[in-house]
Amino acid sequence: MYSASVPSNANPSVEHLNAMAKVFDEDEDDSYDDDLAKNDSLNEVKLLDFLTNTFVNLWDSDRPLFEYLCQGLTNPQRVAVQKVLRK
C-alpha cells in the first residue's frame, strides 16, 4: 500500500506522511500510544499542576493582568479560579 522509499524529489510533507504511515503499519498493537507518550514531552506535563502554578504565579506577579484576563470568564469559571487560588 505504501512505498518503502520516497523519491528524492518528494517534498518534506510527503516524506513525513510516509514515515507516519510506516509507523502505523508496523505497529498494529497497542504499544503505539506508549511509544508516542514516551517521545512526546507534552504528555509528561501534569496539566492540573501546571495550570494551578500558572494561575498562582500570575496572580502573585501581575494581578492587574490576571484580573484583565479573567474579565470574560463566566461565574462558574470565576468560582473555579478562586478555588485554585485558595489552595
Give yes or no for a contact between 51 and 84, defined as CB atoms under 8 angstroms apart. Answer: yes
Query: What is the reported pLDDT for 40?
Result: 64
Binned at pLDDT 50, 70 and 90, residue 45 comes out as confident
Has residue 69 got a pLDDT over 70? yes
Least confident of 4-8, 44-48, 70-74, 76-80: 4-8
Note the pTM of the prediction, 2 decimals. Answer: 0.47
Within 10 angstroms of residue 87's Cβ, the number of other Cβ atoms is: 7
Query: What is the reported pLDDT for 44?
Result: 73
Q: Which residues of 33-59 are buried (b: 16+ CB within 10 A; e: fewer)?
A: eeeeeeeeeeeeeeeeeeeeeebeebb
Query: What is the reported pLDDT for 51?
Result: 87
d(CA 59, CA 62): 6
pLDDT, tens digit, 9 for 90 and up, residues 1-44: 545 554 555 556 677 676 666 666 655 555 555 665 566 666 77
